[in-house]
């Protein structure tokens, strides 16, 4: 049986050094990801469908971690069971998520 999971946006950031080094000037005014807000929470009730309003690119990046947590898997070394950290792969403006099992 799969558990529900809560996905919380821990932090949105911007890597200005990478932007300057790799992107052309049209991206000079880039801001942190606008799809999420810090502290925003989502409840995942159906493992293979993102919650309403969840970025499809971020979902593709973290769904395997959600599947592990929902199925009872544990990440070695985490202080709390049923909790993992994952992130989207937009390395210019990454978003970090906390994924926790909801019993």
Provide the whole-model pTM.
0.93
Does the pLDDT at position 87 exceed 90? yes
Q: Which residue has the tokens 């993102």?
A: 50
Mean pLDDT of the chain: 94
CB atoms within 10 A of CB 99: 24
Does the pLDDT at position 17 exceed 90? yes
Asked whether 15 and 93 are in contact (CB, 8 A), the reply is: yes
pLDDT in tens, 74-83: 889 999 999 9
- Specify the pLDDT at position 2: 83
- DSSP 8-state assignment for residue 2: P
Q: How confident is the model at residue 47 (pLDDT cuts 50, 70, 90)?
A: confident
28 SS3 class: coil
CB atoms within 10 A of CB 85: 13
């Amino acid at each position: 049986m799969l558990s529900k999971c809560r996905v919380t946006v821990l932090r949105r950031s911007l890597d200005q050094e990478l932007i300057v080094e790799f992107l052309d000037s049209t991206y000079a005014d880039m801001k942190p990801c606008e799809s999420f807000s810090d502290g925003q929470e989502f409840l995942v009730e159906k493992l293979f469908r993102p919650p309403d309003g969840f970025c499809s690119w971020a979902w593709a990046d973290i769904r395997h971690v959600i599947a592990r947590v929902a199925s009872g898997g544990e990440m070695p070394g985490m202080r709390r069971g049923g909790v993992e950290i994952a992130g989207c792969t937009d390395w210019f403006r990454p978003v970090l998520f906390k994924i926790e099992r909801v019993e």
